[in-house]
Structure 1
Amino acid sequence: MSTETIDKEILRGGQFLVKETKCDDVFTLEDLSEEQKMMRDSTKEFVDREIWAHWERFEGKDYAFTAETMRKAGELGLLGIAVPEEYGGMGMGFVSTMLVCDYISGATGSFSTSFGAHTGIGTMPITLYGNEEQKKKYVPKLASGEWLGSYCLTEPGAGSDANSGKTKAVLSDDGKYYSITGQKMWISNAGFCNLLIVFARIEDDKNITGFIVENDPDNGITMGDEEKKLGIHSSSTRQVFFNETKVPVEDMLSERGNGFKIAMNALNVGRIKLAAACLDAQRRVINEAVNYANERIQFKTPIINFGAIKAKIAEMATNTYVGESGSYRAAKNIEDRIAIRVAEGNSHQEAELKGVEEYAIECSILKVAVSEHVQFTSDEGLQIYGGMGYSAEAPMESAWRDSRIGRIYEGTNEINRMLAVGMLVKKAMKGHVDLLGPATAVGEELMGIPSFDAPDFSELFAEEKDLVARLKKVFLMVAGSAVQKFGPELEKHQQLMMAASNILIEVYMAESTILRTEKNAKRFGEESQATQIAMAKLNLYNAVDVILKNGKEAIVSFAEGDEQRIMLMGLKRFTKYTNNPNVVALRTQIADKVAADNGYTFD
């Protein structure tokens, strides 16, 4: 694909809000290549054989078994999907790496966490920030599974405020090594890792520095006991203590003071991959719940036939479909942006870093949306099982516990909500996204006389796409007025930013779902996509409710008098359906299809 073609097909990060995206320009799961489908299927086969069949062992906190299974994944090449071929990996594109993260998540939260910690924050910092000697020395061992990686950032006093860590790195008198002293906590893979990415502060530097540290207990490294956690039981999680641990100067990662940048960029990648890692977990829960509901007889009928159960199944399936739509849309945008930068002469490292950074807003949106979807899905799955779901003998209990960590990983959902809006405002100030022009136009529209012409909604999704365009105006109205009122002080109004972010999230996810479904209806026929069309409509209906609530909350928090009245009238106008959908019928249609297929079959 040429740079010119890519530029025509994709928008820059955040521009989805102010520019139209055509359905033919989004990537969907239905666009996977044959090679990608084979990779997906081999990952699913590995999960079924090596992980799902032994989920009770994982729940038994068998850390050695987790490490053993990780090495088996390495033998199949699953740990090196994103690693360039010259360092022992497969050198696959960003979509393929997302695909493996997605389908590996159908296993257990324990294994998915260990996998993500190793391939993402354990290996990726060296791949993207290491020098040639470091990459040749360490990355092949990590890509093959010979070595397992870990990532030491969080400290007792440094969680969301990652740059406030107290761990120190002191240069030796001869200048040959640094001595690292400090405490790290919540370290995934700590109990069986061979290598740690460690962040420490040199002297009184403003920013922390990254180091590559081999795990040698004779070098001042000790581990706390395994943490007792709500879920992810066989993911080894320990405190790590460094007592004058000697690290050769050549194992500093990147430059002095660059650690905070490394950490933040690792989180950007981690956020979208966490979204992917919540998808097959949802599919598995749906499959188990539907199978149980088809077999569970109450009042002389399978409980799948009850409307209350159908409503749950429909919402679970819809959330999963929505998460797929947004995740793979953004993944392909990132992959294409990387290709643009490579074509422009950037190195692989720089291209991938900048490609992901471009879509940091979308990464935060997806992290929040899909991590909350998986918790909803697991909760409803447990409810469908009833009392049996509460038993540790059934898989729903562990799925429910494992899902909870998603809202905390990679920056809490509260942090990511504020980041999404904050980054968008900063992009606007830099001229990367034109928010001012569209926001001004919305303000003028509010003062004008609305059109009473009957729109033409004869084509598929014509009304829904018109509604999405108006939902974007809600965000522009709220955010534009808030920025005008508070300026740089906006970040201090966290509840307002959270409400604005909820609007932004719903817009992106609803649009992604509609575009995916429209694209597939055009090429496969509307009849074949009937259930997907129903899911897109159901999700949009739910999104409108969320946007109405958050729009009102935001407006009344900062606007008064005529300004408040006009904005509330605008909110009502922008969220109004011409033809309200029959939500009960939509849910029934979706649930009947899932029940007939005995599981989720839309991927």
Structure 2
Amino acid sequence: MENNSTNKELLRGGQFIVKETACEDVFTPEDFSEEQKMMRDSVKEFVDREIWPHKERFENKDYDFTEEVMRKAGELGLLSIAVPEAYGGMGMGFVTTMLVCDYISGATGSFSTAFGAHTGIGTLPITLYGTEEQKQKYVPKLASGEWFGAYCLTEPGAGSDANSGKTKAVLSEDGKHYSITGQKMWISNAGFAKIFIVFARIEDDKNITAFIVERDKAEGMTFGEEEHKLGIHGSSTRQVFFSDVKVPAENLLGERNGGFKIAMNALNVGRIKLAAACLDAQRRVTSNAVKYANERKQFNTPIAQFGAIKQKLAEMATAAYVGESASYRAGKNIEDRIAMREAAGNGHQEAELKGVEEYAIECSILKVAVSEDIQNCSDEGIQIFGGMGFSKDTPMEAAWRDARIARIYEGTNEINRMLAVGMLVKKAMKGHMDLLGPATAVGEELLGIPSFDTPDYSELLAEEKEMIGKLKKVFLMVAGGAVKKYGQDIEEHQQLLLNAADILIEIYMAESAILRAEKTAKRFGEETQNEQVAMAKLNLYHAVEKITTAAKTGIISFAEGDELKMMMMGLKRFTKYTNYPDIIALRKTIAEKVIAENNYPF
């Protein structure tokens, strides 16, 4: 097993499903350095000063204001966090870049989208795939906010199937330029971007190719009207049309036929950053909800004191806590993998690409889980506000509308669910990890006689950690049985893959929260971490329920006879608590802390 400089065990991507992780080996928000805390506080201050007082301008589709605030973010250096110092950036580590995405999300979905599209898919492809000349020419201007970037991949007929795009690039006879013709849609920042990463197919190539297109030099490039959208009203979104647009040959990005690879790797980074970009949004919705619940009185009592409201606040806070735990766990794994590759002699570009690619499974898991949590959180926020929550005068309805897009972009959640399981199976087939051995062992365990010994749960979260181990067996049982039955044709059974993905996602998220709670309890003392432990337990209970349902649905679809009976018995064994947690008491513990602090306090 590869170790990094701190001598902790660094699992490869996806290996969490077959290996145990020690709490000391995960990074948590409690581990932020002083520099990272200062960065977090400066982003929060920027959001509170420049954005929150003007939220209605974003809601009223003031795109000029979005551009103005983006320039201010550039002046503060916030657009340059991930850019290497050689190209005018701060060159900060992966965790810090996530931290900035996280706290920018407390602004609005509109600004968060503009920020993410520019710093991620608008700048990153050039940073990671550009020639030295391209990087020197474009990246400093993008890092400073002098220019803004956009990313032109989606077409009317090419969404999830990104490589099926019809936009064409034809090389001139003298080889000096390409002529691009085609149509792109849903392009964030299109209204004010100067640089566009455009994907087009050269001749009959198997894969698309990426190009850097400068707006001011692109004669024949035209734009549709601003789209009218459900949410993210202040994010400029337009169609972009190319009619024989001449692009210098030296503006081909990466290599010919390499555009699909660029698109996929940009999306891997985008997925984990999108998860981060839902976190502070959740914290702010939770904080706004509890403030309102403490002020709003019905029957002469603040509604925060009612059990039904406490349940909502507890679940909202728990989801935010779990999302933080898993996002920063994966982010630090990526950062450590990048450092290992650089230490082994890889250049920065190669190290970052391979570091993120290694954890593509976790990136997809996080994208799905956290985007669904922010939607649920904002929905409950509206419910706590009651009729007022439905009004544009409160921040809840905009939060709810803005949250909805997160389940669609960076690959729909359905695509990401299937990707997560598909990538895991492919890793096993390539020999990058052993799934067959552990799956076979689970099969043998099902044939054996279960132990009736009373386990020792004297250590904090001991039963919860054992339960995580059992839930991993559920995944191996279901995925192993499905692969055994369908082999390479497993991809055709999408509903079964979705069930397997839900099991995988719940395990990663629940394990991350448990490891964080255990680590903080060991560091600060159990008595100070009652609420964190309660959130880890509450989330695990929900995970067990969801996994039971998903596994049952999946097993019934492919197993029959004795195999079906055996797997159902195994499922019952692997999802059974010895000591069931008191869910109502856990929620009360969490909610009372949130209510007393009058915000999200973790």
TM-score range, shorter chain: over 0.9
Aligned to 2:360: 360
**Aligned 8 A contact 2:4 2:336 in 1:** no
- CA shift, 1:8, in A, is 4.1
Aligned partner of 2:173 in structure 1 is 173
> What amino acid is the match of 1:384?
I
Alpha-carbon contact 1:3-1:339 (below 8 Å) kept: no
1:68 paired with 2:68, answer yes
- Structure 1 equivalent of residue 529 of structure 2: 529
Give the structure 1 partner of residue 393 of structure 2: 393
Q: In the alignment, what sits opposite 2:263?
A: 263
Instruction: Supply the distance in 2 between the matched residues of 1:89 and 1:325 (Cα, whole angstroms).
Output: 28
Distance in 2, matches of 1:70 and 1:218, equals 24
Letter of the aligned partner of 2:419 in structure 1? L
Q: d(CA) in 1 for partners of 2:460 and 2:363?
A: 29
Displacement of 1:288 in angstroms is 0.6
Task: State how many pairs are aligned.
Answer: 601
The more displaced of 145-154 and 8-17 is 8-17
Secondary structure (helix, strand or coil) at the match of 2:328 reads helix
Q: How does 1:474-485 map to 2 (within 5 A)?
A: 474-485=474-485
Provide structure 2 residue ranges, at least 5 long, that are not aligned to the other structure: none
CA deviation after TM superposition for structure 1 residue 4, in Å: 4.9
- Secondary structure at the residue paired with 2:183? strand
CA offsets per residue over residues 214-271 of structure 1, 9 Å max, x none? 0137611100000000000000000000111110000100110100000000000000
Partner of 1:283: 283
1:11 aligns with 2:23: no
Letter matched to residue 87 of structure 2? Y
2:336 aligned residue: 336
Counterpart amino acid of 1:306? F
Structure 1 residue 52: deviation in Å?
A: 1.1
Give the superposition deviation at 1:116: 0.3
RMSD, matched Cα = 0.9
Q: State whether residues 212 and 251 of structure 1, in contact with CA within 8 Å, keep that contact through their aligned partners in structure 2.
A: yes
Cα distance in structure 2, aligned partners of 1:8 and 1:530: 27
* CA distance in 2 between partners of 1:141 and 1:266 (Å): 20
Q: For residues 435-456 of structure 1, what are the alpha-carbon distances to aligned partners after superposition, in whole Å with 9 as ceiling and x for unaligned?
A: 1110000000000000000000
Contact map agreement 1:327 1:366 (CA 8 A) in 2: yes
Q: State the SS of the aligned residue for 1:211.
A: strand
Unaligned stretches of 5+ residues in structure 1: none
- Matched position secondary structure for 1:190: coil
Deviations 1:88-139 (A, max 9, x none): 0000000000000000000000000000000000000000000100000000
- Secondary structure of residue in 2 paired with 1:205: coil
Q: Deviations over 1:181-201 (max 9, x none)?
A: 000000000001111000000
SS in 1 for 2:123: helix
What residue identity is the alignment partner of 1:464?
E
Q: 1:596 to 1:4 in 2, by over 3 A?
A: closer
2:50 is aligned to 50
**Residue 198 of structure 1: aligned partner:** 198
2:45, 2:521 → 1: CA distance? Answer: 30
In the TM superposition, 1:173-572 aligns within 5 A as 173-216=173-216, 219-572=219-572
**Contact (CA 8 Å) 1:6, 1:340: kept in 2 or not?**
no
Partners of 2:528 and 2:401 lie apart in 1 by: 36
Assess if the C-alpha contact under 8 Å between 1:88 and 1:144 holds in 2. Answer: yes
Cα separation, 2, equivalents of 1:302 and 1:601: 20
Say if 2:3 and 2:10, in contact at 8 Å, map to a contact too. no
Q: 2 CA distance for matches of 1:432 and 1:313?
A: 42
Partner of 2:137: 137
Separation (CA, whole Å) in 2 of partners of 1:42 and 1:101: 13
CA displacement at 1:160 relative to structure 2: 0.1
Deviations along 1:135-172, one digit per CA (max 9) or x if unpaired, are 00000000000000000000000000000000000111
After superposition, the C-alpha distances for 1:460-510 in whole angstroms (9 at most, x for unaligned) are 000000000000000000001111110000010000000000000000000
TM score, norm. by length of structure 2: 0.99
Letter in 2 for 1:541: Y
Q: Where has structure 1 moved over 4 Å in runs of 4 or more?
A: none
**Residues 516-557 of structure 1: per-residue CA shift (max 9 Å, x gap):** 110010010011111000000000000000000001000000
In the alignment, the residues of structure 2 paired with residue 167 and residue 20 of structure 1 have an alpha-carbon distance, to the nearest angstrom, of 47
CA distance in 1, matches of 2:474, 2:579: 20
